[in-house]
Amino acid sequence: MTPEFAAAIATWRYPEPYGVYSLTGVDPAFFLDPANGYVALVDEAGSLIGYRCFGPDGRVPGYDYDDGALDTGGGLRPDLTGAGLGAEAIATGLAYGWESFANAAFRVTVASFNTRARRVVESLGFRSVARFRASTTGAEYDVLRLER
């Protein structure tokens, strides 16, 4: 993650109903702090296309997470969503995660209405383990897990 990429990510605004994923207003320094686990996804030309995060920032308040899997989240640049790039972007991020962390499983938390994201992560082998309501908004989320 570079300062330039972090500043760009902090401007990303998604159209409704995907606005829950917008990152406007987040201090770019948050994405640069190694403790928050953010990495940039770039294309062959070095242009920012998305990000992955590994660790607690991949969690949504309201679920009883355990340490049995590493939480991961991510996003594509808003103008690239819905273009069929999700599976490759997530797979690339997961490959980085398998190499970089000593974990036996990954866990993702996806807004229940987001059938696009759920379809993509399921195509990569994630399986549903729970559904819950966020304690902050009351929105429904699905928790999915991928074993190594």
What gap in Å lies between CA 70 and CA 19, rounded to an integer?
Answer: 25
Q: Per-residue pLDDT tens for 17-76? A: 998 889 998 999 999 999 999 999 999 999 999 999 999 999 999 999 999 999 999 999
Coil, helix or strand at residue 87: helix
Report residue 137: phi and psi, to 5°: -120, -20
- Enumerate the domain spans of the chain: 3-147
Note the pLDDT of residue 74: 94
Note the pLDDT of residue 3: 97
Note the pLDDT of residue 75: 93
Note the pLDDT of residue 66: 94
Homologous superfamily in CATH for domain 3-147: Gcn5-related N-acetyltransferase (GNAT) (3.40.630.30)
Q: Per-residue pLDDT tens for 83-105? A: 888 899 999 999 999 999 988 99
- Overall pTM > 0.75: yes
What gap in Å lies between CA 57 and CA 63, rounded to an integer?
Answer: 13
Note the pLDDT of residue 13: 95
Residue 148 has pLDDT above 90, yes or no: no
Residues counted in the chain: 148
Token reading at 113: 């209405």
Note the pLDDT of residue 136: 92
Note the pLDDT of residue 20: 86
